[in-house]
Amino acid sequence: MISYGKQDINQQDIDAVIEVLQSDFLTQGPKVPVFETTIADYCGANYGVAVNSATSALHIACLALGLDQGGRLWTTPITFVASANCALYCGAEVDFVDIDPITYNLSVEALEAKLIVAASVNKLPDVLVAVHLCGQPCDMAGIRRLSLQYGFKVIEDASHAIGGRYQDQPIGNCANSDITIFSFHPVKIVTTAEGGVATTNDKGLADRMTLYRSHGITRDPELMTQEPDGPWYYQQIELGFNYRMTELQAALGVSQMARLDEFVSRRHALASRYDQILESLPVTIPSQHKDSYSGLHLYVIRLQLDKIESSHKQVFESLREQGIGVNLHYIPIHTQPYYQQLGFKVGDFPEAERYYSEALSLPMYSLLTEDQQDKVYTALEQAVK
C-alpha cells in the first residue's frame, strides 16, 4: 500500500536520538530549548514553546489568550477536530465559518458576513483559529484587518504548513496573528513522533504557555507571591498540565529541521508533477493562491462527479483496493456526532459539505517516488473511468 503520508528518517536523525538516550536528560534537558529556538529562528518569531502535540499547543494557546467559560472560538469546519476542540477544553463555545470554494480555507468573505451579524447580537468571537489547509496559508491580511476591526485574537493552525510562506514571509512569524501552532506528527512535514510548537512574538503569551505546559508551576521568584522558602522552592500559580516534549523528540525535531526546505521543495516537485499528469482526468487539482508558497502537507483533488460514472465512495474504494492509501481531509466537524449534539446540523456549512462530497487526498510525502506517483495515476485513471 502506498500511504498518503509518511515520515522521512535518515541516519542523522537516528544518531541524534541515540545520543540523547545516552545522555543525562531524557526530559527537561537542553534539547527542548534548542528545538524551540530552531523553530522560532526558522519562522522569524521571537519565541517558541514546545509541547507534546499540536493539540496541546492549541489548548495552551487558547488559555494564554484568556479563552474561558462564556468565550467564543470560531474556525473552519474543514480541519482536524483538534482545531475546534481546544475551545471546548476551555469551557468556551465553538462556531464555524464556511470555506472558500477555491482554496478550501476559511472564507474571509463568509467571516466578515458572520462578524457583522455577530456584532449586532453582541456575540463576537474572542479567538479565531485560521487553519492553513494542505499547507496553503489563509488570507491572513484579510483576517488581520477583521481582527483589528472586531477585536478578536488569531491563532494560526499551521499543522500542515511549516516551511511554507505567505507573501514571501515564513509561516509562523505571527505577523498577522497572536500565536502560530505546528504539529510534528509523523504524517506532517517534519516529525518528532508526537509533538507541537507554538510560536509568538509576545513574551507574556510565551511565558503563560510555558507555565500551562508544566502544571502551572514556576521557579521564577519574580512570578511568586512571596520570597522562596529556600532553593527547593517552587510555586503553582495556575492550573496547568503535563504537556512537555521529551528530549528524544526535541533532538529528532532539530535534526529533521535541517532538511525542512528540502522536504518542502520535494513536495512541490511532486505536486507539479501531479498537476501535469492529472490534467487529462476529470478531477480538479489544488489551486495555489499567488500570495502562497504552500508547505504542501496534503495534495487534495476534487472529483468532477458529473463526468464520472462511479460515486465518490466507489472511487475511494477502488483506489484502496488497488493499493493506493488515499485519505479524506476532512469530515466537516459540524457533522460529527459530538458536534451535532451541541446543536450543529448537516446543511449548516454547504461549501464545506460540497467539498467533503468530492475531496480525496492523494499520496504526498518526500520519499514518494515518481514510479509510485505513476501507479497512483494509473489507479486513479482506472477508478474514474
Task: State the residues that interact with ligand PLP by CB under 6 A.
Answer: 53-55, 79-80, 82-83, 131, 157, 159-160, 183, 185, 196
Q: How far apart are alpha carbons 234 and 98 in whole angstroms?
A: 46
Residue 243 bridge partners (DSSP)? none
Nearer to ligand PLP, 183 or 246 (CB): 183
Cβ of residue 136: shortest distance to ligand PLP, in angstroms?
12
Nearer to ligand PLP, 31 or 185 (CB): 185
Nearer to ligand PLP, 53 or 176 (CB): 53
Grid cell for residue 218: 514556576
For residue 109, how many other CB atoms are within 10 A of its CB? 12
Segment holding 72, helix H or strand E? strand 72-75
For residues 86 and 59, is the Cβ–Cβ distance under 8 A?
yes
Q: How far apart are alpha carbons 47 and 170 in whole angstroms?
A: 14
Nearer to ligand PLP, 7 or 83 (CB): 83
Nearest Cα residue to 301 out of 350, 374, 346, 363:
363
Nearer to ligand PLP, 183 or 361 (CB): 183
Cβ of residue 193: shortest distance to ligand PLP, in angstroms?
10
Phi-psi region of 134 (alpha: psi -120 to 50; beta: other; left: phi over 0): left
- What is the distance in angstroms between the CA of the first residue and the CA of the last residue of the chain? 21
Cβ of residue 330: shortest distance to ligand PLP, in angstroms?
8
Residues 6+ apart with CB under 8 A from 385: 309
Q: What is the DSSP string of 195-252?
A: -EEEEES-HHHHHHHHHHHBTTEE--GGGSSS--SSTT--EE-S---B-PPBHHHHHH
Nearest Cα residue to 158 out of 260, 273, 10:
260
Cβ of residue 199: shortest distance to ligand PLP, in angstroms?
15
Nearer to ligand PLP, 76 or 210 (CB): 76
Cβ of residue 185: shortest distance to ligand PLP, in angstroms?
4
Amino acid occupying residue 159: S
Nearer to ligand PLP, 177 or 218 (CB): 177
Cβ of residue 300: shortest distance to ligand PLP, in angstroms?
13
Grid cell for residue 223: 512570578
Nearer to ligand PLP, 180 or 183 (CB): 183
Task: Look at the alpha carbons of 59, 64, 70, 76 in this order and tell me if their dihedral is positive or negative.
Answer: negative
Q: How far apart are alpha carbons 240 and 21 in whole angstroms?
A: 28
Nearer to ligand PLP, 54 or 171 (CB): 54
For residue 273, how many other CB atoms are within 10 A of its CB? 15
Nearer to ligand PLP, 81 or 124 (CB): 81
